[in-house]
């Protein structure tokens, strides 16, 4: 039995040491969190999150700096004119009530606080398209000991975007023929941010880093190429004071303009090449023999194909009347030429398959080609008879005249 006791004693000793270690670790963490607990209690003692953090009116307007990082272009709905984006919106301001001395709190220089515990500027997306003006995920704010507050909430926005359909799907630059460049259409969308209630005397917006959209973490799209992303400050009425029709109050809005260009491969294969080939098919109709009986069938098939592509363009683009898409203009012109081809082909087939058993000579043709020609022929015969050299030609002309007279007589009967 003694060997068994000696085997159990090291196990018990190890368990005791683990328990002691856990108690010490907890005690050390409690000591480390004590400074942060005191800081949290001291900062928010008497703090009112509903009041704008300015010491007095002389410190107005309060400056809020904004930056936007575009992470992903989810979709551009051209039919509904809506841009769906994934962005990180950075807001930075100074709260004089959230300052402390790091030496009094164990060297803590920053802390993270839930956004609903502090004052926040009511910055919203004005041109939203789904009714969601604010960010959906309320992440923590980062507070520095200087009173500087940084809030970077991720958001997925649906914003209205006026689609320019004039150059869909390609755009030709105004260059000489030898330097002609074909580019696909470009779309400039906007995201307009601003305060819903504060005017420019109370709150002022400014750029945080630069007057550009940040594309450092942008994930490329399979449909659009990112070109540019400038940003500007604009002046507009405060939304609340606009509603109560006080026109004097103005506010500053910050607008970001991401610019996209359509990628070439998909629409080149699906739209451009087939429509160009259909234009050549209109020409080949005239090289097809009339006796084959396939001229009209080919023209009708080309016409139906053009209608299909017109429906495809109408499904992609919004039903706007401001401008006609370049692709629609081209398809419409091709359709008009196809209609002309159908009319000409109908006339050709009608003349080719016409016979004496099915058609009679029209009166105007008889008048033009028989009576007029007979009169001219009689005058010509008199000139030939007067000249003995042309006796043989006169005989042939008399024979032709007799044939024409017989034809006219048979038509009259």
Across residues 281-298, what is the average pLDDT?
84
Predicted TM-score (pTM) of the model is: 0.68
- Determine the pLDDT at residue 150: 95
Q: Which residue has the higher pLDDT, 376 or 66?
A: 66
- Determine the pLDDT at residue 240: 45
Spatial neighbors of 406 by CB under 8 A, at least 6 apart, are none
d(CA 285, CA 341): 8
Q: Which residue has the higher pLDDT, 214 or 366?
A: 214
Question: CATH fold of 57-262, please?
Answer: Acetylcholine Binding Protein; Chain: A, (2.70.170)
- Determine the pLDDT at residue 2: 45
pLDDT tens across 211-243, in order?
Answer: 899 998 899 888 888 888 999 888 765 454 444
- Determine the pLDDT at residue 379: 54
Residue whose entry in the numeric block shows the structure tokens 């074909």: 182
CB atoms within 10 A of CB 403: 10
- Local confidence band at 191 (pLDDT 50, 70, 90 cut-offs): very high
Across residues 345-366, what is the average pLDDT?
77
CB atoms within 10 A of CB 306: 25
- Determine the pLDDT at residue 331: 86
Cβ-contact 86, 75 below 8 angstroms? no
pLDDT for 9 beyond 70: no
- Local confidence band at 91 (pLDDT 50, 70, 90 cut-offs): very high
Question: Helices marked H in 263-294 — which ranges?
Answer: 265-267, 273-284
d(CA 207, CA 107): 31
Which of 220, 236, 224, 229 has the alpha carbon at shortest distance from 256?
229
- Local confidence band at 25 (pLDDT 50, 70, 90 cut-offs): low
**In angstroms, what is the C-alpha Rg of the chain?**
43
Q: Which residue has the higher pLDDT, 34 or 42?
A: 42
Report CA-CA distances (Å) from 215 to 86, 136, 153, 219, 290: 12, 22, 16, 9, 62
pLDDT tens across 149-189, in order?
Answer: 999 999 899 999 988 887 787 665 554 444 445 567 788 89
Mean pLDDT value across the chain = 77
Spatial neighbors of 218 by CB under 8 A, at least 6 apart, are 70, 71, 72, 226
Q: For the chain, how many helices (H) and strands (E)? A: 9, 16
Across residues 312-320, what is the average pLDDT?
80
CATH 1.20.120.790 matches 265-352: no
DSSP of 158-192, one letter per residue?
Answer: EEE-----TT-SEEE-S--GGG--EEE-EEE--EE
- Determine the pLDDT at residue 171: 60
Edge-to-edge strand list for the sheet holding 224-228 = 186-188, 259-262, 224-228
d(CA 237, CA 46): 34
- Determine the pLDDT at residue 66: 94
Tokens of 97: 């009530």
Spatial neighbors of 109 by CB under 8 A, at least 6 apart, are 102, 144, 145
Which of 116, 92, 89 has the alpha carbon at shortest distance from 204?
92
């Amino acid at each position: 039995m003694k060997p068994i006791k000696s085997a159990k004693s090291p196990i018990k000793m190890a368990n005791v040491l683990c328990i002691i270690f856990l108690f010490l670790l907890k005690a050390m963490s409690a000591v480390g969190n004590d400074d942060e607990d005191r800081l949290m209690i001291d900062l928010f003692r008497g703090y009112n999150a509903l009041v704008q953090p300015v010491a007095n009116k002389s410190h107005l307007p309060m400056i809020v700096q904004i930056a936007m990082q575009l992470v992903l272009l989810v979709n551009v709905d051209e039919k509904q004119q809506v841009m769906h984006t994934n962005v990180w919106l950075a807001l930075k301001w100074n709260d004089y009530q959230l300052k402390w001395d790091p030496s009094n709190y164990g060297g803590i220089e920053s802390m993270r606080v839930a956004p609903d515990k502090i004052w926040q500027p009511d910055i919203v997306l004005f041109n939203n398209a789904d009714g969601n003006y604010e960010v959906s995920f309320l992440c923590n704010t980062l507070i520095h000991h200087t009173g500087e507050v940084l809030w970077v909430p991720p958001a997925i926005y649906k914003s209205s975007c006026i689609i320019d359909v004039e150059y869909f799907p390609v755009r030709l630059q105004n260059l000489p023929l030898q330097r002609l460049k074909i580019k696909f259409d470009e779309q400039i969308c906007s995201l307009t941010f601003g305060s819903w209630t504060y005017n420019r005397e109370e709150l002022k917006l400014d750029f945080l880093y630069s007057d550009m959209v940040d594309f450092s973490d942008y994930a490329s799209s399979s449909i659009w190429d990112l070109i540019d992303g400038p940003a500007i400050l604009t002046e507009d009425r405060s939304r609340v004071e606009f509603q109560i029709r006080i026109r004097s109050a103005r506010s500053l809005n910050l607008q970001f303009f991401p610019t996209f260009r359509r990628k070439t491969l998909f629409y080149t294969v699906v739209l451009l090449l087939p429509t160009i080939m259909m234009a050549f098919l209109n020409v080949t109709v005239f090289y097809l023999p009339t006796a084959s009986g396939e001229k009209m069938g080919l023209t009708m098939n080309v016409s139906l194909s053009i209608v299909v592509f017109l429906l495809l363009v109408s499904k992609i683009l919004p039903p706007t009347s401001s401008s006609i898409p370049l692709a629609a203009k081209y398809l419409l012109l091709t359709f008009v030429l196809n209609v002309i081809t159908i009319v000409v082909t109908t006339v050709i087939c009608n003349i080719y398959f016409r016979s004496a058993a099915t058609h009679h000579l029209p009166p105007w043709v008889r008048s033009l080609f028989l009576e007029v020609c007979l009169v001219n022929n009689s005058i010509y015969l008199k000139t030939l008879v007067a000249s003995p050299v042309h006796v043989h030609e006169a005989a042939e002309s008399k024979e032709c005249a007799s044939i024409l007279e017989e034809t006219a007589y048979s038509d009259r009967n």
